[in-house]
Amino acid sequence: MTTTLDLSALEKGQEILAVDREITRDTLVRYAGASGDFNPIHYNDTAAQAAGLPGVLAHGMLTMGMAIAPLLDALGDPTRVTAYSTRFTNPVVVPADGSVTLHVTATVGSIDQEGRTARIDLTATVDGTAALGRARVTIALPHTPEGSQA
């Protein structure tokens, strides 16, 4: 069950969520079908190794999407997101059997009261290693009524 964030109570440095997301080979196949990205490095061990990779990799955009999804759920209104950017720092290697866990946290990086926006900093790690770097989401904050101190 997801609880909608109280955007009027955000504070800089506040951790607003921490979740684990499982990624399996099945996840990769489903994403490939939805995105049309059938590069064999995302499902074939031989192709991944021939490309010099440590194994089959999760799609970068899948990782990026899985990192922001819990925040979108918590916002209750995904149209509040006005910008999202990141750098891909390390590949997410997905084993043939089992899964890999993407640990995602979201922390309030800054609040612009005048502009009515907040920057949310995401971390996405696998076994303590960053999968994404400098992942930043800008969200629109609700407007406060005239005379309010919020």
What are the structure tokens assigned to 52, written together?
């010099």
Give Cα separations from 81 to 36, 65, 69, 85, 107 (angstroms). Answer: 25, 13, 11, 11, 15
φ, ψ for residue 47, nearest 5 deg: -65, -40
CB within 8 Å of 40: residues ≥ 6 apart: 47, 48
The predicted structure's pLDDT at residue 90: 97
- DSSP symbols for 33-61: HHH----GGGT-HHHHHHTT-SS-B--HH
pTM > 0.85? yes
Give me the residues of the chain with pLDDT under 50, please: 1, 147, 150
The predicted structure's pLDDT at residue 147: 47
The predicted structure's pLDDT at residue 145: 60
The closest of 91, 25, 95 to 63, measured between CA atoms, is 91
The predicted structure's pLDDT at residue 143: 83
Decide: 22 and 101 in contact? Cβ < 8 Å. yes
